Amino acid sequence: MGLKTKFALVAGIGLVLAFAFFLLNGSFTGQVVSVPSEPMGQFINCLNEKGVVMYGFTHNPSVNAQLGLFGVDVVKLNVVDCHANPAQCEGVIIYPSWKVDGRIISSGLSLGMLSDLSGCKL
């Protein structure tokens, strides 16, 4: 096996290990978390009570990934479709964006970050 092949093999294994480390530690904004439906429903109810809103539009992969974190209870989440309701999205330039505690956060958020920012327990 040549030096280039060995290097490519070691680099590939390193990338796979790094990716697995980040996934297991929730270091990606769009982390996947499995939460049973009842606690997720309670979490979403709390977000709604605190006026938390997600802004996005259909057919956006980042928005769809963010919505996927909420599982079947996503239908309860307060989401504004900026394609259908552009007037409600004035000033929102990145999708998804969140309104938490009256401020717009131009980024997807993990469930843990949403919990921390909103004060809603997950």
The tens digit of pLDDT for each residue in 50-100 reads 999 999 998 899 999 999 999 999 999 999 999 999 999 998 999 999 999
Q: Are 31 and 111 in contact (CB under 8 A)?
A: yes
* Length of the chain, in residues: 122
Q: Are 111 and 42 in contact (CB under 8 A)?
A: no
Domains and CATH numbers, the chain: 37-118 (3.40.30.10)
SS3 20: helix
Residue 27 has phi, psi (to 5 degrees) of -85, -5
Whether the full predicted model's pTM is greater than 0.85, yes or no, is no
Nearest Cα to Cα of residue 77 among 67, 87, 85, 86: 67
